Amino acid sequence: MFDLFLFAWKALKGHRLRTVLCTLGVGIGVASVVLLTALGEGARIYVTGELATLGSSLIIVLPGKVETEGMVPIIGGVPHDLTLKDAEEIRRRIPAVRTMSPLTLGQSLVSHGALSRNVAVIGTTYEFLHIRRLSMARGNFLPPGEIDRGSPVCVIGTRVEQELFRGVNPLGKILRISDFRFRVIGVISPKGQSMGFNIDDVVMIPVASAMKVYDQTTLFRIFVETSSYNNLDQTEEKIIELIKKRHEDEEDITLLTQDSVLASFNEIFTALTLALAGIAAISLTVAGVGIMNVMLVSVSERTSEIGLLKAIGVKSSQVVSVFLAEASLLSLIGGILGLITAVLLVYTSRRVFPAFPVEIPHWAVLAAIAVAVVVGVLFGVWPARRAAKLDPIQALSRR
Amino acid sequence: MIRLENVSRNFQVGEETVHALCNVTLEIPQGDYVALMGPSGSGKSTLLNVIGCLDRPNSGTYVLEGKNVTDMPENELSLIRRHRIGFVFQFFHLVPRLDAAGNVELPMIFAEISRVERSRRVARALDSVGLSHRAKHRPNQLSGGERQRVAIARAVVMGPAILLADEPTGNLDTHSGKEIVELIERMNSEGLTLIVVTHDPTIGQRARRVIRLSDGEIVD
């Protein structure tokens, strides 16, 4: 076996340029497969990582029942309002619930003096700070206490601060939201885009105040954090049961967990990665045709050698394996070179763009090499069999 | 012992059937020295190929060392060529990328003989053709005579019973040609059956037996 590959290796060394070009083809194919899967995998890790910052023991309650898996549903008609009372009951009746925070969403022209800006206004409670892992740049978050008490205070994002206060300390200043006046008590640290809206460009007010401002009767979301990840399923069931009882036996809410969101994002990005790998695999096929071409040339060039091999008693099956060994060596060397190139490129990209976690999945490494060798053997079979079928007498009559 | 009975071999060339061998009956005992002679196209190379199990007769029987090889499957014929027969060609047919030692080693690689045993046998075979000092030279660094001696070393390295040479001196000058003939004659004297296809009457005279062919038939 080793001698066979040594013999094949010497044959390849005899045609250096041809060998180099052919391995280059395979190398590019393998490198592109590995790089593209690394990009896809990087995107997956990036997105799921972003989602995971929300915490994995989080349940999001939405009004309305929508048959979907994971993705945030579009809300149609809602039979029953999801009220502040519902939210409070969830906290009070279910022991596994550690914290809870209701949420409303509105859009308003917010002004300070002569400056105004159209921003999203979130109505929520003190607990939201912890649930969404927010931190304060200045001042305090909304005050803890009764959720149905709407005090006229607000916290603002850094973008709002920049646009409306222009360098003036906003704490203690008055902000007009629609026709209501709110005193600024804090500025949220920059966090950027997260779960659909830009935390830097919002104003947050107590949920009871928000429902009054927008004359809303239903909540937009209830964020529920359970005491541990393990009892997530049971807690979900209990929430549904509780709300069903309160809503005249109608199951009119949808629960989202981090798990289901993560799972569907995972699926999407895995599919994307596979699609990218598939596209790159086309270049491997092209490389395989290149190998076939080289092997066919090699067979016709070495006709007399093949004749000689047969004359000295080399079996046809051994002639086949000589050429298959050559083809698989070509693709294996190309595959390894391609892999090294890909690893170096990934390493470089990590240094240049540390924010985007490019990651070569382990399966991609093995798969790329395996596919390269399979391509080599597959495209080598036909030339090898041609070699084995040569008539030794005719082959030897050539000089 | 080589025994051919009524062996015929035809080739289809376009519409025409060429009778390369017609009803050849022949017996060559072990250790004999035979020259196959005749004009071009007389069938001497075809006869050599049939004896060497590279070609099969269309009819008749061929018994080699007591075994009927006429209809033997290709795989078994490979084994007979490997172990019982050595070939020497007019154009040497050395593998250009391998050095002299590598060329001699070639049959043993595919016979899966161990590395140690191979290098021992290569050394012995190169020594017997007087080329030990050229073992690391590639064919293009060797003279014609030297190349043919490498080819002979390769032909005998598996210890065959029969050495078949097709115009072994056809591509060499008189002096190297003579050396080659003396070399293979020495191997014949050590018990190897030697069958030489040649145009050269001087070689023909040296053989113990001359078989003349004309139009695929033995005439003498």
Query: Tell me, what amino acid is at A388?
Result: A
Q: pLDDT tens digits, residue range A264-300?
A: 777 888 888 888 888 888 888 888 888 888 888 888 8
- Lookup: tokens for A149: 């008490």
pLDDT the model gives residue A123 = 93
B contact test, residue of A18, A308, A393 with most B CBs within 10 A = A308
B contact test, residue of A5, A301, A312 with most B CBs within 10 A = A312
What's the rounded mean pLDDT across residues B94-121?
92
Q: pLDDT tens digits, residue range A98-145?
A: 889 999 999 999 999 889 999 999 999 999 988 888 889 989 999 988
Cβ distance B122 to B113 under 8 Å? no
Judged against a pLDDT cut of 90, whether residue A368 lies above it is answered with no
The H or E element spanning position B153 is helix B144-156
Whether chain A has a CB inside 8 Å of the CB on B11: the answer is: no
Residues with Cβ within 8 Å of B122's Cβ and at least 6 positions away in sequence, in order, are B101, B104, B105, B108, B135, B157
pTM of the entire predicted model: 0.68
Separation between Cα atoms, residue B27 and residue B137, nearest integer Å: 40
Catalogue the E-assigned strands of A229-362: 253-257
Backbone region of residue A359 per phi and psi (left: phi > 0; alpha: psi in -120 to 50; beta: other values)? beta
B81–A312 CB contact, under 8 Å: yes
Provide the sign of the torsion angle of the four alpha carbons B87, B94, B154, A386, taken in this order. Answer: negative
Separation between Cα atoms, residue A59 and residue A100, nearest integer Å: 9
Separation between Cα atoms, residue A55 and residue A131, nearest integer Å: 8
Exposed, middle or buried by CB within 10 Å (0-12, 13-18, 19+), for A36? buried
CA atoms within 13 A on the CB side of A316: 16
Task: DSSP for A333-378, please give it.
Answer: HHHHHHHHHHHHHHHHHHHH-TTS-----HHHHHHHHHHHHHHHHH
Query: Tell me, what amino acid is at A260?
Result: S
The H or E element spanning position B209 is strand B209-214
B110–A399 CB contact, under 8 Å: no
CA distance B192 to chain A (A): 17
CB pairs under 8 A between A and B: 68
Q: Ranked by mean pLDDT, which of A24-33, A40-49, A55-64, B142-151 comes out on top?
A: B142-151
ipTM confidence: 0.92
